Amino acid sequence: MSICEVLRIGHRPERDKRITTHVALTARAFGASRIYLSNPDSRVIKSVEEVVDKFGGDFSIESTPNPKKVASSSNLLIVHLTMFGLPIDTKVEDIITEGRDILFIVGAEKVPAWVFELSDYNIAIGNQPHSEVAALAIAMNKLYPNSYNTEFDGKLSVIPSATHREMKDSS
C-alpha cells in the first residue's frame, strides 16, 4: 500500500474530541502512516497512542501549530475531503493514475480558503452534510482497495466471530 497521511483541520477540543479520535483511528485502521492535528489535544493523542500500543501498527499522531505549512511543504498529492468538491467516483481514476502518495485533508469547522487552493483535488463523498469519519473511510477504501484488511501484529488482535467478542493477547 502506498503511504498516506491525514491532516485534521479545525479540531475544537471540547466539541470534536470523539470525532477527531475516530478520524485518527479510521486513518490508522485503513493504513495511513500519520495524522496531523491542527489544534493539540492531549486526550486525543493519548487515546490514539494507546490503541497503537495495544493493537500495533506503524502510525503516529502529531500536533501542528501551522497546518498550512504542513500542506504547503508536503510533496504528497493533496486530497481535500469536502461536500463542496467533485464526486469521488468521477475522480478516482485520475487520482490513482497520479501514482503519488496522498495527504488527505479533513476539516472540522469552516475550512479556510487556502485548503481549497492548495489541494490538488477537492473531493466529495456525496454532496450532503455527513461525518468526516465516513468520508475518510470511503475515500481511503476507494483509493486503496482492501485497505481495511491491514494486519498490524499488535499485542491484541480481534478474532472474527459471528456470535461473540473474542481477542487474542500475544503480549
Parse the chain into domains and list their residue ranges: 4-169
- The model's pLDDT over 83-122, given as tens digits with 9 standing for 90+, comes to 999 999 999 999 999 999 999 999 887 899 999 999 999 9
Tell whether 130 is in a known binding site.
Answer: yes
Tell whether 46 is in a known binding site.
Answer: no
Tell whether 81 is in a known binding site.
Answer: yes
- Amino acid of residue 87: P
Cell of 44: 486525543
- The model's pLDDT over 12-51, given as tens digits with 9 standing for 90+, comes to 666 677 889 999 999 999 999 999 998 878 899 999 999 9
Identify the architecture of domain 4-169 in CATH: 3-Layer(aba) Sandwich (3.40)
| Contact assessment for residue 96 and residue 145, using Cβ atoms and an 8 Å cutoff | no
Residues contacting 58, CB < 8 A, separation 6+: 33
- The model's pLDDT over 132-169, given as tens digits with 9 standing for 90+, comes to 999 999 999 999 887 777 778 889 888 888 999 998 89
Distance CA 80, CA 17 (A): 21
For residues 55-67, average pLDDT: 93
Tell whether 155 is in a known binding site.
Answer: no
Tell whether 56 is in a known binding site.
Answer: no
Q: Which pLDDT score is estimated for 157?
A: 87
User: Which position has the grid cell 504528497?
Assistant: 76
Q: Which pLDDT score is estimated for 1?
A: 47
3-state SS assignment for residue 25: helix
Tell whether 31 is in a known binding site.
Answer: no
Tell whether 158 is in a known binding site.
Answer: no
Residues paired with 6 in a beta bridge = 35, 104
